[in-house]
Amino acid sequence: MGNLRMLFSSTKLPKFNTYADFRRIARRRVPSMVFDFVDGGADGELTLAANRRAFEQVVFEPRWMSDVSKIDLTTTVLGEKISMPYLLAPAGLASVVHKDGELAVARAAAKANTIFCISTGSTYSLEEIAAAAPTAKLWFQLYLWKSEEVVTSLIQRAKEAGCRALVLTIDVPAVGKRERDLTNGMSLPPRIRPSNILDAIWRVRWLSHFITGSEITFGNLRGIAAGDDASTVGEYTSRELVDPSVTWERLDWLRRQWDGPLVVKGVLSVHDALECVRRGADAVYVSNHGGRQLDSVLGAASALPAIVEAVNGRVEILVDGGVRRGEDVVKARALGATAALSGRPWFFALAADGQIGVERMLEIMRADIGRTLSLLGVPRFSDVDRSAIRPVSEPIQDGQK
Ligand SMILES: Cc1cc2nc3c(=O)[nH]c(=O)nc-3n(C[C@H](O)[C@H](O)[C@H](O)COP(=O)(O)O)c2cc1C
């Protein structure tokens, strides 16, 4: 009897402990075409893999017997004090995985006292998101549209909604070739077809929202663009959001339009980082769009050291791409970033369990960053520097040749 009691414990195990847990449950909750839209990268997905490899190749060098009884994760990003150095990156179309979409993400970010960057392509409008989470620290991500009028009105709306920083994404002069989306016929809004009806029908919660909920489209563009065309997401974005003729002079123009903190996202080269500094950006956001744009570029963490060295403390450095664990955030700091962000982790957490899922994901991230600092022997996140790591095979060199 005693053994039986030992065998069957009534204590429930937490459902989610890792990124892999969120991803696995998300896969069960949404149809494959939706899962692939989030999970996939461009072309051969070489950069998608490189993002993880870049973090994996960095190893720590701990200093034992330091006093780590008090761990401090607080970080100041662009003048904003937040409770931890991990932020939620802009990613569009969140309602494609859960009815609450970006509203849930903003509420979870507010609870954790960290920043959520709203995407231009969010399903809820930035006003709806700001109203749903009045205490949230929000940023707004912008693409430079063909129409200057549209850009000006989005900037004005972001200002009025209380967004504290503007993030200009520069790595989309064309939309990357997302091969999984093409194979699956992923469109905006998603369409149930004979080829995927069996796949969708089992996802009861997703399907009932899909059938009865509001149309999944770009909330910020209501009244501006015809978002309910059944064109593919890529084609739609390419036609409406992207101006392939943009050059660095537009950043000067944008700098004049926005007097708050300005971040430039998608930087992978020293050249571009220096353009950002020269033209008055407040932060360089090193990113390859999670491997969704140009394939065969450096993993984001590998691009950091050269950029950090060239920028030389003049502006802050942010990074995303493959950040999955607390230790990645600490590695990013050791490589010179102020803080790190990610996209897929919150997207899958939202798909798996709505707002509670995103809250849990942030809790896990916070605990993991703290534990990593304890084990590393550095009690304050802000004290982590290059001495905390040793690159195994100097992946930084790869892209410099
Ligand atoms: C589903 C999805 C949608 C995205 N949409 C946008 C977007 O609208 N604007 C943008 O600048 N980046 C977008 N991104 C890129 C993210 O901001 C971020 O760079 C990327 O997710 C980081 O890689 P990670 O997913 O490995 O963390 C998107 C990413 C995903 C996964």
DSSP string, 30-61: S-HHHHHHHH--STT-HHHHHHHHHHHTEEE-
Taking a C-beta distance cutoff of 8 angstroms, is the pair 51, 322 a contact? Answer: yes
Range in 14-23, 319-328, 390-399 with the lowest mean pLDDT: 390-399
**pLDDT at 343 exceeding the cut of 90:** yes
Give this prediction's pTM.
0.94
Q: Is 92 in the pocket of ligand 1 (CB under 6 A)?
A: yes
Give nearest CA residue, ligand 1 atom 14.
91
Domain-wise residue ranges, the chain: 19-61+74-373
* pLDDT at 9 > cutoff 80: no
Residue, of 241 and 275, whose pLDDT is higher: 275
How far apart are the C-alpha atoms of 210 and 95, rounded to whole Å?
A: 9
Probe target for ligand 1 pocket from 38, 144, 184, 344, with the most ligand atoms within 8 Å of CB = 344
The per-residue pLDDT for range 123-151, each reduced to its tens digit, is 999 999 999 999 999 999 999 888 888 89
| Three-state secondary-structure class, residue 140 | strand
Q: How many helices (H) and strands (E) does the chain have?
A: 16, 12
Q: Is the pLDDT of residue 216 over 70?
A: yes
289 catalytically annotated = yes
Is 230 a residue whose pLDDT tops 50? Answer: no
Distance 380 CA to ligand 1 centre (A): 29
CA distance 274 to 317: 12
- Residue 401 predicted with pLDDT over 80: no
Q: What is the pLDDT of residues 238-268, one digit of tens each?
A: 676 788 999 999 999 999 999 999 999 999 9
Please, what sign has the CA dihedral across residues 373, 374, 377, 379?
positive
Give me the residue label for tokens 């065969």.
Answer: 296
pLDDT bracket for residue 233 (50, 70, 90): low
pLDDT at 277: 98
pLDDT digits (tens, 9 = 90+) for 314-329: 999 999 999 999 999 9
Distance 341 CA to ligand 1 centre (A): 10
Residue closest to 200 by CA, chosen among 367, 34, 39: 34
Asked whether 299 lines ligand 1 (CB < 6 A), one says no
Which of 37, 289, 365 is the pocket-test mutation for ligand 1 (most atoms within 8 Å of CB)? 289
Largest CA-CA distance found in the chain, in angstroms, rounded: 77
DSSP per residue, 311-343: HTTSSEEEEESS--SHHHHHHHHHTT-SEEEES
Tell me, in angstroms, the distance from the centre of ligand 1 to residue 76's CA.
Answer: 23
Question: Measured from the CB, is residue 39 less than 6 Å from ligand 1?
Answer: no
Q: Name, in order, each residue with C-beta under 8 angstroms of 38's C-beta and a sequence gap of 6 or more.
A: 26, 97, 344, 347, 348, 351
| Arithmetic mean of pLDDT over the chain | 92
Superfamily of domain 19-61+74-373: Aldolase class I (3.20.20.70)
320 lines ligand 1 (CB under 6 A): yes
What per-residue confidence (pLDDT) applies to 101?
97
> Ligand 1 centroid to 397 CA: how many Å?
26
